[in-house]
Amino acid sequence: LVEIPYTRYSSSSDNYYCIDDIIATCEKIPSKVEQPLFRLGFLDPSTDNTTIQPGTKLELPFWLASSLCTRRRRLVSVDMPKTYKDSFREILKADANVVDLHKIGPYYYSFGSKLLHFDHPEIGDIADSLLQGFISRFRRIMDSSQNAYNEDTTHLTCKLDESERCVFKAGQKGLDDFQRWQTG
Amino acid sequence: MFGEKALELIRELHRSTEGVLPPFNDEGIRQVLEEMRSLYEQNQADVSATVAGEQGLFSGVQLRHASLERDKRCLLAYLYNRLQKIRNMRWEFGSVLPADIKTNMSEQEVQWFTKYNKCLANYMRRLGDSGLDLTQDMQPPKS
Amino acid sequence: ENLETHLKNVTLRHMPRNLQSIDKDKTAPR
């Protein structure tokens, strides 16, 4: 009956009606055309041709790329976005807490999980990176959400991605409930 | 790109704060349904052409079908999430919603709300000996 | 039932024929 943030977070992956999930799937993914796309020239604003030739590079939203890159028929192939590639993963590994995940993509974990849908050599490393990144940052999120009572928390949440903000909000709610119980 | 109008509906709902119901976007829904109709007709034409022997049209059919599914998902999610907000308002405000909320509801949403009220009332009437209003005392009384 | 009726009346019945049903497996909350 009451919107519980962590429920929204835990159910955001692949939940059909979830607004966050729909927005996350708009994120663009670098793609390469593998077969001629007849009469679909409008997808490539750099050309006047009506057909997109194999080899053309495009940035397609995830929801479209995942439909065009299936095991049965690969009309396009995909590459991982820069913020999930090796160089960025190293930054996250070095010190995940300093990274502004909200600026990079407000749905960093959610979108990253969706990338695992593709058959790509870096998938295993990306999965590890997402998990380790979340674990590294979680402690600070938990601590700050449990200690910031009745104050402006913008500086604590500005660099968090949306999933982390839900976790922070859940922590704040717990703190608030405890304070209310203490004061009767 | 296809799906932009549908996404606008979703973003509109996403921007609205908790507990606030934005006005029902009839025109937005109409435009998305219009896009779906157009995509479907183009697909019908391509499928017929493929049956007649033309090659290479499958990629367009696949892309348009993905766009149709996307539009459908956005529309259903828009309606579903609005109903969730309205449902929560029932528990917050009671069976009579404030006038400023009602003006933002579509006629079908008002009908949905009426049916929801009835379901809830029927359910609560069956509880205990003489029924129980579950929407009262949502927080435990201090005593 | 109330939800399904609403979705059907507002949008589904105006969609192309092959898209008018709700796939319950796909739309069930995870």
| CB proximity list for B94: less than 8 A, separation 6 or greater | B135
pLDDT of residue A160: 96
Question: What is the DSSP-derived secondary structure letter of residue B121?
Answer: H
Query: How many Å from the N-terminal Cα to the C-terminal Cα in chain C?
Result: 20
**Nearest-by-Cβ selection for B40 from C9, C11, C16:** C16
Residue A6 forms contact with C (CB below 8 Å) = no
Residue B2 forms contact with C (CB below 8 Å) = no
CA max distance for chain A: 71
Q: Which domain holds residue B107?
A: 4-125
CA A162/CA A172 separation, integer angstroms: 15
| Inside any domain, residue B75 | yes
- Which positions in chain C have a beta carbon within 8 angstroms of at least one beta carbon in chain A? 26-30
Decide if C26 and A16 are in contact by the 8 Å CB cutoff. yes
Task: Determine the average pLDDT of the residues in B103-111.
Answer: 97
**What digits encode the pLDDT tens for the residues B17-49?**
888 999 999 999 999 999 999 999 999 998 888
How many interface pairs between B and C have CB atoms less than 8 angstroms apart?
42
**What digits encode the pLDDT tens for the residues B69-90?**
999 999 999 999 999 999 999 9
Q: What is the value of ipTM here, to two decimals?
A: 0.93
Question: What is the DSSP-derived secondary structure letter of residue A31?
Answer: E
**Nearest-by-Cβ selection for A11 from C26, C27, C30:** C30
Confidence band (pLDDT; 50, 70, 90) for A12? very low
| CB proximity list for A4: less than 8 A, separation 6 or greater | A170, A173
pLDDT of residue A2: 37
The order of strands in the sheet holding A76-78 is: A57-61, A28-33, A76-78
B positions 67-86 inside 8 Å of C (CB): 68-69, 72, 75-76, 79-80, 83
| Inside any domain, residue B142 | no
Whether A6 has a pLDDT exceeding 80, the answer reads: no
Residue B60 forms contact with A (CB below 8 Å) = yes
**Nearest-by-Cβ selection for B75 from C5, C6, C11:** C11
Task: Report the candidate in A34, A91, A97, A42 with the shortest Cα–Cα distance to residue A68.
Answer: A34
Task: Name the residue in chain C with its Cα closest to that of B67.
Answer: C19
Task: Determine the average pLDDT of the residues in A12-38.
Answer: 87
What's B121's domain CATH number? 1.20.58.1030
Number of H helices, E strands in chain A: 9, 3
- Measure the CA angle with vertex A25, ends A22 and A30; round to 5°: 165
Residue with the two structure tokens 């090659």 = B55
Decide if C3 and B83 are in contact by the 8 Å CB cutoff. yes
pLDDT of residue B58: 86
Task: Determine the average pLDDT of the residues in B57-72.
Answer: 92
pLDDT of residue A36: 84
How many interface pairs between A and C have CB atoms less than 8 angstroms apart?
11
**What digits encode the pLDDT tens for the residues A45-59?**
777 677 888 899 999
> Which residues on chain A are in Cβ contact (under 8 Å) with C6?
none
The low-confidence residues of chain C, meaning pLDDT below 70, are none
* Total count of domains within chain B: 1
Whether A154 has a pLDDT exceeding 70, the answer reads: yes
Chains that touch B (3 or more CB pairs under 8 A): A, C
Q: Which two tokens stand for residue A95?
A: 């010190």
| Inside any domain, residue B71 | yes
- CATH number of the domain located at residue range(s) A81-184 in this protein: 1.20.58.2050
Decide if C11 and B109 are in contact by the 8 Å CB cutoff. no
Q: What is the mean pLDDT of chain B?
A: 92
